[in-house]
Amino acid sequence: MKKQINNPFILAIRARNLTVEIHHHSAYQIVLSNDTPFTSTINGQLCERIHGFLIKPQVPHFCVAEKGTLNVLNIEPYSNIGLELSSRFNADQDYIIFNSPTETSTFFQTEKDTFDIYTIINALLAKLPTLNYDERISKIVEYIKDNFFKQDITPQTFADLVFLSPSRLASLFKEQTGSSLSKYLLWTRLRQVIYLALTEKDRSLTDIAYDTGFYDLPQLNKYMYEMFGMPPKALKYNSDLIQVY
């Protein structure tokens, strides 16, 4: 029997009274406020008193929200959700601005102008076609959930688990999720890193890196910069201002 699983390539956080320096990253990013308007500079363009934006990967930007709360969603660009978001841009667009909660709800097709992070996530998932995942893909997902911290996981590890060749499994996984097995494993590890950095403040980042499957802190820093435009120490330093979903 085939088993239904949700798309995993979303990392959502809530940040309050936070200023983020200029950066860029590999993920699509949605930044939303449904209380206080904020200011952002995106690709050199000043955007004042906005309520949110959606940007493509690698677009430089920064935000100032010193008196409000921002909901931030990072999305793997080659996942099914990322590919669906890419279709919403015009050919010459790098970002889309939302000047009011009404514009946000219209864009994401939510029922109310006042929303929480789960409303947006559910709206994103609702755009995807219903898909019953192959039981071998579900088995891989469960394995990653239970074993992501192991440093010796290879493509052959997954292939042996479901009795497929690495190339056939890679093709099947990409067909069903839009992205690769290696990115799925990476996002699983990074989600856990962010959770631990925000909730276990006494643990060192080196220990967190090792306990989530990275070889060392420099490797973790590299992937955090690449995917989200910030090092884990920035999250840890601002842990009193950030909540992870």
Q: Which of 126, 152, 182 is the last residue of a domain?
A: 126
Q: What does the alpha-carbon distance between residue 70 and residue 87 come to, in Å, rounded to a whole number? A: 25
The CA–CA distances, whole Å, from 147 to 157, 172, 176, 206, 211 equal 11, 21, 21, 19, 11
Looking at the structure, tell me whether residues 121 and 71 fall in a common domain: yes
- Give residue 144's pLDDT: 94
Looking at the structure, tell me whether residues 55 and 92 fall in a common domain: yes
Q: Answer yes or no: is 140 within a domain.
A: yes
For each of the chain's 245 residues, which pLDDT tens digit applies?
A: 333 345 579 999 988 887 778 888 999 999 998 778 999 999 999 999 999 999 999 999 988 877 788 899 999 999 999 999 999 999 899 999 999 988 999 999 887 766 678 888 889 988 888 878 899 999 999 999 999 999 999 999 999 999 999 999 999 999 998 899 999 999 999 999 999 999 998 899 999 999 999 999 999 999 999 999 888 988 888 888 888 87
Looking at the structure, tell me whether residues 35 and 120 fall in a common domain: yes
Q: Answer yes or no: is 176 within a domain.
A: yes
Looking at the structure, tell me whether residues 115 and 215 fall in a common domain: no
- Give residue 4's pLDDT: 37
**Do 16 and 199 touch, CB atoms closer than 8 A?**
no
Looking at the structure, tell me whether residues 23 and 115 fall in a common domain: yes
**Do 22 and 60 touch, CB atoms closer than 8 A?**
yes
Q: Which of 100, 126, 152 is the last residue of a domain?
A: 126
Q: Answer yes or no: is 166 within a domain.
A: yes
Kindly report the CATH number assigned to the domain that includes residue 158: 1.10.10.60
Q: Answer yes or no: is 239 within a domain.
A: no
Q: Answer yes or no: is 203 within a domain.
A: yes
Q: Answer yes or no: is 27 within a domain.
A: yes
Q: Which of 60, 95, 126 is the last residue of a domain?
A: 126
Q: Answer yes or no: is 3 within a domain.
A: no
Q: Answer yes or no: is 243 within a domain.
A: no
Kindly report the CATH number assigned to the domain that includes residue 118: 2.60.120
Looking at the structure, tell me whether residues 95 and 16 fall in a common domain: yes
- Give residue 216's pLDDT: 96
Looking at the structure, tell me whether residues 147 and 224 fall in a common domain: yes
Report the domain count for the chain.
2
- Give residue 7's pLDDT: 57
Looking at the structure, tell me whether residues 175 and 214 fall in a common domain: yes
- Give residue 114's pLDDT: 65
Looking at the structure, tell me whether residues 21 and 106 fall in a common domain: yes
Q: Which residues contact 15 (CB under 8 A, 6 or more apart)?
A: 65, 69, 70, 72, 238, 241, 242, 243
Looking at the structure, tell me whether residues 161 and 85 fall in a common domain: no
pTM, rounded to two decimals: 0.91
Q: Which residues contact 143 (CB under 8 A, 6 or more apart)?
A: 158, 161
Q: Which residues contact 22 (CB under 8 A, 6 or more apart)?
A: 41, 60, 61, 62
Looking at the structure, tell me whether residues 27 and 101 fall in a common domain: yes
Full domain range(s) for residue 72: 10-126
Looking at the structure, tell me whether residues 42 and 105 fall in a common domain: yes
